[in-house]
Structure 1
Amino acid sequence: MRKLVFKITVSMAIGLLIVGCNDDFLETQPLSQASETSVWSDLKLAEAAVLDLYQGTWAGTLTREETTDAFTDHAVFTHPGRGVDGYTEGKMNPAGNFMDMQWMSWPQLYPFVRGANVAIERLQENEAGFDGETLNRLLGEAYFMRGYYYSQLMRQFGGVPLFTEPLDLDSEANNPRATFEATVNQIVADLDQAIVLLETAPASKARVHKITAMALKSRVLTHAASDLYEPSKASSVPTIASYSNPELIGYTSGSQTSRWESAKAASKALLDATTGYKLDYSAPASQEEAIQNYEDIWLQGAQNQDFIWGRLVDEFGFGSRTYPGGDGWSQGPGMVALYHGPNGYHEWAGTTPTEALVKKYTLADGTEFDWDNPVHAADPYANREARFYATFLYDGAPWKPRTDDVVRFDNFNEIQTGFYTFSDGTIVNGVDTRQGPIEDWNGSRTGYYFKKFSDPGLPASWPNNLQKVDAPYIRYSEILLNYVEASINTNDEGEARAWLNRLRFRNGLPAVTASGSELLEIYKRERDKELVNEDARLFDMKRWLEGPQSLNQQVQQVVVQAAQKAGSTMTPDNYRKDPAEFDYTYTPTNIVFENRIWQDHVYFMPIKQEEIDKDPSLIQNPGY
């Protein structure tokens, strides 16, 4: 019989490990140089072993050029050949023809599950006699991390093999997938245990404590209650309806309403236990204040009340052994601006917004944007809602000072994604276009760039100035949105509107008065906009069964054409966006880049064939 073989990495201390937000760094010997006995009999080494479990999260949000929004209608990845089309063109298969994000990957997460199991077993034995408070904190963290990694696997694969004690290389390879229901129950049990154990753990945005576990419980139960996992809803998808093992990918009994009630209770418990950021408006914030509110949330990072848990650059540094970048230069979240910024700043335009995302943003008064409305189409970037200006860089948007070699193309520090025709016939391609004079291969294909998560105060001079924008894993706003969704699905629409309006007021939008399907649609699009590039849309489009709506459409760019007006004195070497000098036309245009088409099997990830070869008891997901 085959033996169970995991890619087990020896736990290694990070050279310097942080104890808490304001504590001194720990200096520990690498765990590979310490015997297992000495690890669990020495407080610093035991703490290092538990903190090492966090490494599996550090390859996550803000680490790569490719964000998970590029797998959805929200964004497109500029540079082909890296497996993004596995999602967007439905090419994923068990041979591994897709981008396997490390922080959601079967072979890369199970070693951390094993590490958590080792920690739980040895800490429960407590042969070293650690005091109760210390023991509870370390044990609570280990339970949380096991639950977290299983939650990442659950959202990708459905039911997965559940290991709650350490396995070694001699363990038999007969570990079939648990049912979806059992997987969710195990995650919730781990989080409930963590909540109890972390009751007195100090508050931290870097290390988990009670609030962190409560927030993750809200996320897990919200996902579990969703339509993808409810047989009466998911049966509308032929690939799912014909699957012979439905218990692996959803519930086969029980009430969806009761599951929404559980999600609602978990979310409300978190909302009552802590507070969010500027959610006390009684009317919409002004446009200027609303823009600042949204920018504060991601620029202030862990200093902002909305930030519950994430990767803090100042606490943990830039590097990570889970995503080293191959040759030592990759700096994870320190490089977000470089990864996604405009080519006219010598940046790479890795993941850029699509027009499908941009048009979800309303006008400032809440009116839906409509390209068929001639007033909207004549000036599409005017008078949009506050988050539009805090999220995107678009033609004419103010931005950072240019580097010395680019100043001659732009003296005004404004994004140039338009094409300018002068009276003498001269055509100037904007410096931030793919036809511009600076690194055209790094230009946006859509005419947009992401501003969110890029530090506007940091000069475009990588690698000397790595930005320090913290990467959020869970925000208070997500839990608020979870609560709104659960309230809608339990027919408590008054409560849903009340909490949704708190978020809308902070963002400068008017109150929602809708009900029924209209309220649900407004909620979904509100969530889309609030959580851009935070690993949300990929899972939301699946759990809402919106795969076709998301990906059965071509990527669009907005072609910006400017024709010089009679009497204008502006010259090609000193031009800028100016409606007084140019007549502008904006044309949404399909681009031939990815042949986007939704395939129903993408609702669940394939288990790689190499994993099934190791353990034939594993049953593959539908459609593969």
Structure 2
Amino acid sequence: MMRKKLVKMIYLCAFGLSVVGCNDDFLETQPLSQASDVSVWTDLKLSEAAVLDLYQGTWAGTLTREETTDAFTDQAVFTHPGRGVDGYTEGKMSPDYGTFMDMQWMSWPQLYPFIRNANIAIAQLPENMAGFDGPTLDRLLGEAYFMRAYYYSQLMRQFGGVPLLLEPLTLDSEANNPRATFEETVNQIVADLDLAIDLLEDAPLSKARAHKITAMALKSRVLTHAASDLYEPSKASSVSTIAAYSNPELIGYTGGSQAQRWEAAKAASKALLDATTGYKLDYSAPASFEEARQNYEDIWLQGDENQDFIWGRLVEEFGFGSRTYPGGDGWSQGPGMVALYHGPNGYREWAGTTPTEALVSKYTLADGTEFNWDNPAHAAAPYDNREPRFYSTFLYDGAPWKQRTDDVVKFDKWNELQSGFYTFLDGTIVNGVDTRQGPVEDWNGSRTGYYFRKFADPRLPPSWPNNLQKIDAPYIRYTEILLNYAEASINTGDEGEARAWLNKLRFRNGLPEITAGGSELVEIYKRERDKELVNEDARFFDMKRWLEGPYSLDKQVQTVIVQGTQKPGTTVEPGDYRKDTTVWDYEYTPSEIVFENRRWQDKVYFMPIKQEEIDKDPSLIQNPGY
């Protein structure tokens, strides 16, 4: 039965994956819908198609849909209620899975089929019935090991120890697969990655397919997470649900040395840093403001063409016509719709996930000074003189942006964000075109007064669906590994090394050198990571492994109310408003909105196992708090 499922999946893959070279002649001579399990592994193209289909379970990561995982944290909020985001932010998750949104690229029910297919590939490829040459066989087998490790790492970071299915299952064996311990799960992932590193030694470098560098980078991520406080009993015992759990071996280490685990993470991260190079990390002083702003934008705008990009979904190769993005109607083309998903309503976009003031306040001034609303100078002009990444990440009141569509030009001919409310001398109040009270699709207005600029291609007009953008979805970047190395260095007492690498990153981003140590260095590191990896599936896991759940979610979302009042003696034509401090006085007021009743629940450190899975396999033990 499992093999029939595989054949069915490969058939679907063949229609969409141009990267496997499934041309018309091939499809005519060997329709995959009729291929037997033997013919799959005795045919060169079918075997490669089976391996390449394993990549489909990544979807497009954080660029898959309107909701990003940052919306489950302090950094963002999802604009439209009723889709299960509050399951995370209000701690309402339960094993019935009707209480929260299950993101498909991290989902237990959706990832295990890909793990099973990886197991089939690992079992079949060494037989080499298709007659691959040695390098090709090693590459495909290495990719199968890598993808199995990747999917297990996605599950490990959410559930802890999981069932380690390492062979193709029969129906009889599917009903009794208890969870491995957390330590066993981590060890298996690392073992698979070590095999992948060896097998992929000579594989062609690729940003879409795994090779040695990709596997080394994932090893750094896995060992960094495993060394973190969430999995260390002496630290995690402060969490109520973890302290009361009767199976601690499923959600963390029960022995061994956290210091040694940090040493392993440090070594894995340094190995990657030494094996390749990052993007513009050779500054000896802070880059200029404009260069720094462009540096950060280049990293996500250039996608796989940028050195920082190690592995992700390349829209040109995996494209919009793959199995997980069937295409054809413009509605299933996740990575091409990111600007639409998160953009301003005044551009007829949807404001799906928008930044919170909690995130915006993490961005310093250009000189590295912390932003503080209690500072009158900061509060009077909160969007002036901020660090360069701020301007590459956010759209805010007065921010320059794209040409408005023809029907919206009458409300704004200057192509600037209007997320405030403006009172003219005659008493007329104009609601900004990008507010929830504005004249264009007000239901799609931001609740926080901000929008994400990051991952929205500024070169394309807001004319979806005719101009689907082609920004690649990053899964792993060099900078993440740099940050992993800095974190491991801090935790092994090598603060000088941590500062040296953090300063490379800060100089690229136009920020001054840091000299801090101790808890101050830890705080600087964490907030650097938050800012650098916005909307890249990082904060969701970081807040958990750092035990920062209460810090992140025990507070309500804040909006910033922007009020502009026309100065006496000035002249503004009706319908001709733009941001101008010589004409308008501005007041900025941070205010809480109880859109979600955000509160942290300790059980959210781990995800619930779906009750349906436990019903099928009673050997599975549920996570704490559920």
Give the TM-score normalised by the residue count of structure 1. 0.97
Cα offsets for 1:35-64 (capped at 9, x unmatched): 111111111110000000000002422010
Q: Which residue of 2 aligns with 1:93?
A: 94
Contact 1:397 1:415 in 2 (8 A): yes
Q: Which secondary structure does the structure 2 equivalent of 1:51 belong to?
A: helix
Q: Which secondary structure does the structure 2 equivalent of 1:585 belong to?
A: strand
Runs of 4+ aligned residues of structure 1 deviating over 6 Å after TM superposition are 3-9, 23-26, 325-328
Are 2:20 and 1:14 aligned? no
Q: How far has the Cα of 1:4 moved from its partner?
A: 12
Q: Which secondary structure does the structure 2 equivalent of 1:588 belong to?
A: strand
Contact 1:59 1:323 in 2 (8 A): no
Q: Which residue of 1 aligns with 2:38?
A: 37
Cα offsets for 1:259-285 (capped at 9, x unmatched): 000000000000000000000000000
Q: What amino acid sits opposite 1:103 in the alignment?
A: W
Distance in 2, Cα, partners of 1:493 & 1:503: 15
Residue 287 to residue 219, structure 1, CA distance change in 2 (3 Å) = same
Q: How far has the Cα of 1:124 moved from its partner?
A: 1.5
Q: Which secondary structure does the structure 1 equivalent of 2:61 belong to?
A: coil
Q: Which residue of 1 aligns with 2:453?
A: 451
Q: How far has the Cα of 1:316 moved from its partner?
A: 1.2
Q: How far has the Cα of 1:19 moved from its partner?
A: 4.4
Alignment of 1:369-380 (within 5 A): 369-380=371-382
Q: How far has the Cα of 1:592 moved from its partner?
A: 1.8
Gaps of 5+ in 2: none
Q: Which secondary structure does the structure 1 equivalent of 2:50 belong to?
A: helix
Q: How far has the Cα of 1:318 moved from its partner?
A: 1.6
Q: How far has the Cα of 1:169 moved from its partner?
A: 2.4
Q: Which residue of 1 aligns with 2:225?
A: 223
Q: Which residue of 1 aligns with 2:81?
A: 80
Cα offsets for 1:41-89 (capped at 9, x unmatched): 1111100000000000024220100000000000000000000000000
Distance in 1, Cα, partners of 2:616 & 2:330: 32
Contact 2:22 2:45 in 1 (8 A): no
Distance in 1, Cα, partners of 2:594 & 2:123: 54
Q: How far has the Cα of 1:16 moved from its partner?
A: 4.7
Q: Which residue of 1 aligns with 2:576?
A: 574
Contact 2:16 2:322 in 1 (8 A): no
Q: Which secondary structure does the structure 2 equivalent of 1:407 belong to?
A: coil
Cα offsets for 1:512-548 (capped at 9, x unmatched): 1000111011000000000000000000000000000
Contact 1:6 1:107 in 2 (8 A): no
Percent of residue pairs bearing the same amino acid type: 82
Which of 156, 161, 181 pairs up with 1:154?
Answer: 156
Q: Which residue of 2 aligns with 1:293?
A: 295
Contact 1:102 1:322 in 2 (8 A): no
Alignment of 1:92-171 (within 5 A): 92-96=93-97, 97-171=99-173
Give the length in aligned residue pairs.
Answer: 620
Residue 57 to residue 30, structure 1, CA distance change in 2 (3 Å) = farther
Contact 2:346 2:434 in 1 (8 A): yes
Q: Which secondary structure does the structure 2 equivalent of 1:503 belong to?
A: helix
Q: How far has the Cα of 1:503 moved from its partner?
A: 0.2
Q: How far has the Cα of 1:111 moved from its partner?
A: 0.2
Cα offsets for 1:218-246 (capped at 9, x unmatched): 00000000000000000000110000000
Q: Which residue of 2 aligns with 1:540?
A: 542
Q: How far has the Cα of 1:6 moved from its partner?
A: 13
Q: How far has the Cα of 1:327 moved from its partner?
A: 7.0
Cα offsets for 1:355-413 (capped at 9, x unmatched): 00000000000000000000000000000000000000000000000000000000100
Distance in 2, Cα, partners of 1:500 & 1:101: 32
Contact 2:120 2:167 in 1 (8 A): yes
Residue 341 to residue 243, structure 1, CA distance change in 2 (3 Å) = same
Residue 294 to residue 30, structure 1, CA distance change in 2 (3 Å) = farther
Q: How far has the Cα of 1:320 moved from its partner?
A: 4.2
Contact 2:47 2:130 in 1 (8 A): no
Distance in 1, Cα, partners of 2:503 & 2:5: 47
Contact 1:5 1:169 in 2 (8 A): no
Distance in 2, Cα, partners of 1:108 & 1:326: 23
Q: Which residue of 2 aligns with 1:64?
A: 65
Contact 1:349 1:442 in 2 (8 A): yes
Gaps of 5+ in 1: none
Distance in 2, Cα, partners of 1:375 & 1:289: 26
Q: How far has the Cα of 1:30 moved from its partner?
A: 5.4
Residue 185 to residue 194, structure 1, CA distance change in 2 (3 Å) = same
Q: Which secondary structure does the structure 2 equivalent of 1:313 belong to?
A: coil
Distance in 1, Cα, partners of 2:620 & 2:460: 49
Distance in 1, Cα, partners of 2:355 & 2:190: 35
Q: What amino acid sits opposite 1:344 in the alignment?
A: G
Quick check: 274-283 or 6-15, which moved more? 6-15
Which of 292, 302, 312 pairs up with 2:304?
Answer: 302
Contact 2:543 2:549 in 1 (8 A): yes
Alignment of 1:403-482 (within 5 A): 403-482=405-484
Quick check: 330-339 or 127-136, which moved more? 127-136
Q: Which residue of 2 aligns with 1:381?
A: 383
Distance in 1, Cα, partners of 2:79 & 2:328: 21
Residue 30 to residue 287, structure 1, CA distance change in 2 (3 Å) = farther
Q: Which secondary structure does the structure 2 equivalent of 1:316 belong to?
A: coil
Distance in 1, Cα, partners of 2:263 & 2:286: 30
Residue 17 to residue 172, structure 1, CA distance change in 2 (3 Å) = closer
Alignment of 1:267-416 (within 5 A): 267-322=269-324, 329-416=331-418
Distance in 1, Cα, partners of 2:283 & 2:622: 49
Q: What amino acid sits opposite 1:454 in the alignment?
A: A
Q: Which secondary structure does the structure 1 equivalent of 2:291 belong to?
A: helix
Distance in 2, Cα, partners of 1:348 & 1:115: 36
Are 2:476 and 1:503 aligned? no
Contact 1:319 1:332 in 2 (8 A): no
Contact 1:428 1:572 in 2 (8 A): no
Distance in 2, Cα, partners of 1:423 & 1:606: 57
Q: How far has the Cα of 1:128 moved from its partner?
A: 3.0
Cα offsets for 1:397-456 (capped at 9, x unmatched): 000000000000001000000100011000000000000000000000000000000000
Distance in 2, Cα, partners of 1:503 & 1:30: 50
Q: What amino acid sits opposite 1:450 in the alignment?
A: F
Contact 1:276 1:477 in 2 (8 A): yes
Residue 30 to residue 83, structure 1, CA distance change in 2 (3 Å) = farther
